[in-house]
Amino acid sequence: MKKAIVVVDMQKDFIDGALGTKEAQEMLPRMEAKLSAAQAAGTKLVFTMDTHGEDYLATQEGRRLPVPHCIRGTEGWEIAASLQPFVRAAAAVVEKPAFGSTELPALLEDCDEIELVGLCTDICVISNALVLKAFYPEKKISVDASCCAGVTPASHAEALRAMKMCQVDVK
């Protein structure tokens, strides 16, 4: 059985930058430990990166969330420094201009089990979990709640409940 972990948007702007949260900062050491164990076990790692251009505020997302973040090439766009060793060893790093990535299913076709971790539970984690569940209804799709954080603790919990309803396993 081949397993993959999709590390969603562990970028500086979501940890301690423009949209950072205390929960994201507190979760980072758990993420590091999880990825160390996964790497030792030979688990396939795939990272996603929220990626916007300088025109972000003119986009639909930018008009609804008028906080410039994850602008390609800025410090806030970069994946956390402590995760860089895992990024260098990853099977793929996917830049995505929207919440969910349509590239993930092809990258994970050879995996029987897919686990998601990262930021933000209530936006990009849930979007990618549901894309994968729709594409692969018979594969085990799961989310490690201890290695995710939402915009708020309440919206994190709501997203976990919604994923459970859609048959995504929540650990």
Which tokens sit at 73? 């090439």
- pLDDT confidence of residue 63: 97
Report pLDDT for 1.
Answer: 80
Least Cα distance to 94 among 83, 82, 107 occurs for 107
CA angle (78, 38, 30) in 5-degree steps: 60
Rounded CA gap, 122 and 131, in Å? 14
On whether the CB atoms of residues 107 and 136 are closer than 8 A, the answer is no
Question: Is the full-model pTM beyond 0.95?
Answer: yes
pLDDT digit string (tens) for the chain, length 171 residues: 899 999 999 999 999 999 999 999 999 999 999 999 999 999 999 999 999 999 999 999 999 999 999 999 999 999 999 999 999 999 999 999 999 999 999 999 999 999 999 999 999 999 999 999 999 999 999 999 999 999 999 999 999 999 999 999 999
Task: Show the beta-strand stretches assigned E in 31-70.
Answer: 44-50
What domains does the chain contain, in order, with CATH numbers?
Answer: 3-170 (3.40.50.850)
pLDDT of 162 reads 98
CA 44 to chain centre: 15
